[in-house]
């Protein structure tokens, strides 16, 4: 069943667990994630970046792919198709029209006033259509960062004003995590996380979930994190398995066999993460 994230993350907040956003890259990836989460009987958020959107053939292709896979595979768990780091109102509008059930508007590269203005525009459009909205305050850096501007920690008063004025459903404040591999240990500001949780009182999202230690993830959930975004980690375990396959089987040339050789590793990583997050079906 395709849903938005409102009830899903409200239940996570009330019951102190988190739901994973796994980013999708292609048909196989989407199938692996749907099947692993169905086997565990937990809800899942399929994150689609703008890069993945283009790679996979646009929003309509993504929506029909997910819908038809769910139908064919008899997927009965709640599934969200969520735009990851939407860069403008127009992109959010386009994916909503195509059938996405949730969007993230990331206007964090602008100053707070402009971030609020753009986010409000998306919230107004999305709410009328029963679509949930996530937004970012501060700036989560990392390998995808074009400007390599690094982390700009969120300010708790900015977060308060942001939530009050935009009525966004979920907030992704920059708390020390980064996208892509960590260089050194992740340093998360848990005090700030708790303060933002208490002051905003909406489900919080932690980006850059790959490479954060298990104990840090558990603590983050105690401090208000209801959604954890994971992309790099699945790509890494898949790439490792495929490299091994190609190294050990010099005869293989069927792309289905090559891509599928990463299936078990991806599914194992997904299931471990679900257990760690304590995700449940409410």
- Residue 227 engages ligand 13P in binding (rule: CB under 6 A): no
- Residue 229 engages ligand 13P in binding (rule: CB under 6 A): yes
Binding mask 7-46 for ligand 13P (x = CB under 6 A): ----------------x-----------------------
In whole angstroms, what is the distance from residue 78 CA to residue 80 CA? 7
- Residue 279 engages ligand 13P in binding (rule: CB under 6 A): no
Q: How far is the CB of 173 from ligand 13P (least distance, A)?
A: 13
Rg, the chain, Cα only: 18
- Residue 180 engages ligand 13P in binding (rule: CB under 6 A): yes
β-strand pairing of 102-105 with 79-86: parallel
Q: State whether residue 104 is helix, strand or coil.
A: strand
Part in contact with ligand 13P (CB under 6 A); list of ranges 6-14, 51-59, 149-157, 223-231: 223-231
CB 236: neighbour CB atoms within 10 A? 15
Part in contact with ligand 13P (CB under 6 A); list of ranges 149-157, 158-166, 227-235, 247-255: 227-235
Q: State whether residue 212 is helix, strand or coil.
A: coil
Given the residues 71, 84, 157, 158, the one annotated as active site: 84
* Beta-carbon-side half-sphere exposure of residue 48 (alpha carbons within 13 Å): 31
List beta partners, residue 81.
46
Size of residue set near ligand 13P by CB under 6 A: 15
Q: How far is the CB of 140 from ligand 13P (least distance, A)?
A: 7
Q: State whether residue 61 is helix, strand or coil.
A: helix
Q: Is 84 a catalytic residue?
A: yes
- Residue 209 engages ligand 13P in binding (rule: CB under 6 A): yes
- Residue 186 engages ligand 13P in binding (rule: CB under 6 A): no
The H-assigned helical ranges of 80-208 are 89-98, 112-127, 156-166, 190-200
Q: Which residues are catalytic?
A: 84
């Amino acid at each position: 069943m395709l849903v938005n994230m409102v009830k899903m993350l409200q239940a996570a907040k009330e019951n102190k667990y988190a739901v994973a956003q796994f980013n999708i890259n292609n048909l196989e990836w989407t199938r692996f994630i749907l099947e692993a989460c169905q086997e565990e009987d937990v809800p899942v958020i399929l994150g689609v970046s703008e890069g993945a959107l283009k790679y996979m053939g646009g929003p309509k292709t993504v929506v029909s792919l997910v819908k038809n896979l769910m139908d064919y595979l008899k997927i009965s768990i709640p599934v969200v198709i969520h735009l990851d780091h939407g860069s403008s109102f127009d992109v959010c509008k386009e994916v909503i029209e195509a059938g996405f059930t949730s969007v993230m508007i990331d206007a964090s590269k602008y100053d707070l006033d402009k971030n609020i203005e753009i986010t409000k525009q998306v919230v107004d459009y999305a709410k009328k259509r029963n679509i949930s909205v996530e937004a970012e305050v501060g700036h989560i850096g990392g390998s995808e960062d074009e400007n390599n501007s690094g982390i700009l920690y969120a300010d708790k008063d900015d977060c308060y004003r942001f939530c009050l004025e935009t009525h966004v459903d979920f907030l992704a404040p920059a708390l020390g995590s980064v996208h892509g591999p960590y260089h050194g240990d992740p340093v998360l500001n848990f005090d700030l996380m708790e303060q933002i949780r208490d002051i905003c009182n909406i489900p919080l999202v932690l980006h850059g979930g790959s490479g954060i230690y298990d104990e840090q993830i558990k603590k983050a959930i105690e401090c208000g994190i209801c959604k954890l975004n994971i992309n790099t980690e699945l790509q890494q375990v898949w790439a490792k398995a495929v490299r091994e396959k190609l190294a050990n089987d010099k005869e293989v040339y069927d792309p289905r066999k090559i891509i599928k050789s990463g299936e078990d590793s991806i599914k194992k990583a997904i299931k471990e993460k679900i257990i760690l997050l304590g995700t449940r079906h409410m």
